[in-house]
């Protein structure tokens, strides 16, 4: 029941993993993947990329699908924490490069 679930959070062996995974999910959500998907065409237009912005948005979607497929196989070989850290690091680098491009433009 819900009361038992809340009561179990007082146990440190349950609370610590719960807080870690919740924090991890928050970092992933605040990293901006949904904003990148929703505004992909406008981002490509504003960054001055030559070519079809719609094609660039499709490329972003294809990269996400390929990354998901790759993760299916890597999750069996590597710890989830390492995969999560690699993913967040790559997203941070991508956002920093995009921010730099937008600032210098």
pLDDT tens digits along 35-59:
778 888 888 888 777 778 788 888 8
Q: Mean pLDDT for the chain?
A: 85
Q: Once rounded to an integer, what is the mean pLDDT over residues 83-90?
A: 84
pLDDT score recorded for residue 28: 77
pLDDT of 62 reads: 93
Alpha carbons 30 and 22: distance in angstroms, whole number: 12
């Amino acid at each position: 029941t819900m009361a038992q679930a809340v009561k179990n959070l007082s146990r440190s062996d349950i609370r610590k993993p719960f807080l870690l995974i919740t924090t991890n999910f928050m970092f992933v959500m605040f990293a901006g993947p949904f904003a990148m998907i929703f505004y992909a065409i406008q981002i490509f237009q504003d960054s001055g990329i030559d070519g079809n912005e719609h094609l660039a948005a499709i490329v972003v979607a294809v990269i996400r699908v390929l990354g998901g497929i790759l993760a299916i196989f890597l999750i069996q070989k590597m710890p989830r924490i390492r995969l999560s850290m690699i993913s967040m690091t790559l997203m941070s680098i991508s956002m920093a490069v995009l921010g730099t491009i937008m600032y210098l433009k």
